[in-house]
Amino acid sequence: MITDKKLLRHTQKLIATLGSKPIIVVGLSGGPDSVFLLFLLKQLQDSGMCTLVAAHLNHGWRAEAAQDAAWCKALCVKLTIPFVDDHAHNYPIEKKYAGSAEAIGRKKRQLFYATIKQQYQATAIALGHHRDDQLETFFIRLARGTSLSGLHGMDPYDGMYLRPLLDTNKQDIVNWLTTHKIDYLNDATNAHDTYLRNRIRHHLVPALTQCDTRFSRSITNTMARLKDEDAFLDELTREVFNKIFEQERAAAHAPLSAFITQPLPIQRRLIIHWLIIEKVDFTPSEGLIEEIVRFLHHPHGGSHQISATHRLVKQKSRIRLENTVG
- Under 8 Å between Cβ of 173 and 32: yes
Q: Which of the 8 DSSP states describes residue 188?
A: G
- What is the model's pLDDT at position 206? 93
Q: For 283, phi and psi rounded to 5 degrees?
A: -100, 120
**98 pLDDT above the threshold of 60:** no
Helix axes 32-46, 5-16, angle to 10 degrees: 70
Most confident of 86-100, 191-205, 261-275: 261-275
pLDDT digits (tens, 9 = 90+) for 134-157: 999 999 989 888 888 889 889 999
Calculate mean pLDDT across residues 2-18: 96
Q: For 54, phi and psi rounded to 5 degrees?
A: -95, 140
**95 pLDDT above the threshold of 90:** no
Q: Are strands 124-126 and 161-162 parallel, antiparallel or unpaired?
A: parallel
What would the 3-class secondary structure string for 225-255 be? HHHHHHHHHHHHHHHHHHHHCEEECCEEEEE
In a domain, 170, yes or no: yes
Domains in the chain, number: 2
37-41, 248-252, 319-323: least confident range: 248-252
Host H or E run for residue 85: strand 83-87
Q: Which domain holds residue 12?
A: 5-222
Among 222, 237, 261, the domain-final residue is 222
Say whether both 66 and 202 belong to one domain: yes
In a domain, 218, yes or no: yes
Distance CA 44, CA 80 (A): 14
In a domain, 104, yes or no: yes
193-197, 203-207, 235-239, 286-290: least confident range: 193-197
- What is the model's pLDDT at position 24? 98
Distance CA 297, CA 313 (A): 13
Say whether both 52 and 167 belong to one domain: yes
The 3-state DSSP class for residue 318 equals: strand
Distance CA 162, CA 205 (A): 25
- Under 8 Å between Cβ of 132 and 208: no
Say whether both 155 and 21 belong to one domain: yes
Other Cβ atoms less than 10 A from the Cβ of 116: the count is 22
In a domain, 229, yes or no: no
In a domain, 300, yes or no: yes
In a domain, 228, yes or no: no
Among 188, 222, 256, the domain-final residue is 222
Q: Residue 16 sits in a domain of what CATH number? A: 3.40.50.620
- What is the model's pLDDT at position 130? 96
- What is the model's pLDDT at position 145? 82
pLDDT digits (tens, 9 = 90+) for 214-232: 998 899 999 999 999 999 9
Measured on CA atoms in the order 66, 67, 70, 75, is the torsion positive or negative?
A: negative
What is the value of pTM for the model shown? 0.84
Say whether both 128 and 26 belong to one domain: yes
93-97, 300-304, 309-313: least confident range: 93-97
Say whether both 270 and 162 belong to one domain: no
Say whether both 312 and 210 belong to one domain: no
In a domain, 238, yes or no: no
Calculate mean pLDDT across residues 80-100: 82
- What is the model's pLDDT at position 96? 54
Other Cβ atoms less than 10 A from the Cβ of 208: the count is 17
- Under 8 Å between Cβ of 154 and 58: no
Calculate mean pLDDT across residues 286-313: 91
CA angle at residue 53 from 31 to 92, to 5 degrees? 75
- Averaged pLDDT of the chain: 91
Calculate mean pLDDT across residues 55-75: 91
Say whether both 258 and 145 belong to one domain: no
Looking at the DSSP assignment, which residues form a beta bridge with residue 93? none
Say whether both 190 and 57 belong to one domain: yes
Q: How confident is the model at residue 103 (pLDDT cuts 50, 70, 90)?
A: confident
Q: How confident is the model at residue 326 (pLDDT cuts 50, 70, 90)?
A: low
Query: What secondary structure does DSSP assign to 88-106, as a single string?
Result: GGGS---GGG---HHHHHH
pLDDT digits (tens, 9 = 90+) for 228-276: 999 999 999 999 999 999 876 557 889 999 999 999 999 999 999 999 9
In a domain, 240, yes or no: no
CA angle at residue 9 from 226 to 139, to 5 degrees? 30
Q: Residue 287 sits in a domain of what CATH number? A: 3.30.465.60
- What is the model's pLDDT at position 72? 97
Say whether both 155 and 250 belong to one domain: no
Say whether both 313 and 214 belong to one domain: no
Q: Which of the 8 DSSP states describes residue 30?
A: S
Say whether both 191 and 78 belong to one domain: yes
**97 pLDDT above the threshold of 60:** no
Say whether both 144 and 252 belong to one domain: no
